[in-house]
Amino acid sequence: MEASRSDCKEPPRDHAVRGVVVNSRDITDRRRAEDELRNSEVRLRSLIRSTDEIVFEFDEDGKYLNIWTDDESLLALPREQLLGKKIPEVLGAETGLAFVNLIRKVLRTGRPESIEYHLDVVGGRRWFSGHFSTIPASDDARKTVRMQARDITSRKLEEEVRQRLAYALRSINECVSITDMQDQILFINEAFSKTYGFQESELIGRHIGILRSDINSPDLIRQILPATLKGGWRGN
């Protein structure tokens, strides 16, 4: 119960208190809702701490309504400075417009959408993947969108290294092929293609055995992979 008290005074000149008025109302439902909201917030924060994701809530205009994270160093600005701002104000007009368009598409279709983007934060440039989905709301409530952002910087750096390595391997004059543990061809360079007379599309996914000479004994073929795993194999 919630109660309020006020003095009841009559007009007489002495302004003496003639009684007390007490108003009360049942606020059980409100207190229960407040308790559930606090408990939900605690559970959500606990969940965020157990993952490496940042969770944002946006309205249809891309305004930051809420942010849940255990590491503010991965935000473009401190949390309190972001709240109330719109995405284009923080990420710039071009990137911000891409975000807002995705948010409105998610609200319109109800289907999730994803985006990859980078931010310059305290520790340098970081890459993130963002997954957008609607937040359930009652019919009369304004619908909002949740974005779960994951730091994918390590993956991006690995991809960059692989791309540079592939470029280097494609550019050299020696024949280079890469296979998996089952001897399925994953990569060949241009020199390899010219030497063996196959296009890349003809070999990728095929067993390396199709390129080996019939004059090589089966025992020799069986020695190549184990020897390579131990440090290398050399032969004709």
Which run of H or E residues covers position 144? strand 144-151
CATH of the domain spanning 28-152: 3.30.450.20
Q: What's the topology of domain 172-229?
A: Beta-Lactamase (3.30.450)
What is the reported pLDDT for 134?
A: 93
Q: State the distance between the two ends of the chain, measured CA to CA, in whole angstroms.
A: 91
What is the reported pLDDT for 52?
A: 74
What is the reported pLDDT for 226?
A: 67
What is the reported pLDDT for 188?
A: 85
Asked whether residue 82 carries a pLDDT value surpassing 90, the answer given is yes
DSSP state of 66: E
- Mean pLDDT for 150-160 is 90
- Concatenating the DSSP letter of every residue in 11-29 gives SSTT--EEEEEEEEE--HH
Query: 3-state class of 175 per DSSP?
Result: coil
Per-residue model confidence as pLDDT tens digits over 100-119:
999 999 999 999 999 999 99
What is the reported pLDDT for 104?
A: 95
What is the reported pLDDT for 203?
A: 86
Per-residue model confidence as pLDDT tens digits over 211-233:
766 666 666 656 665 666 665 55
User: Which part of the chain is CATH 3.30.450.20?
Assistant: 28-152, 172-229
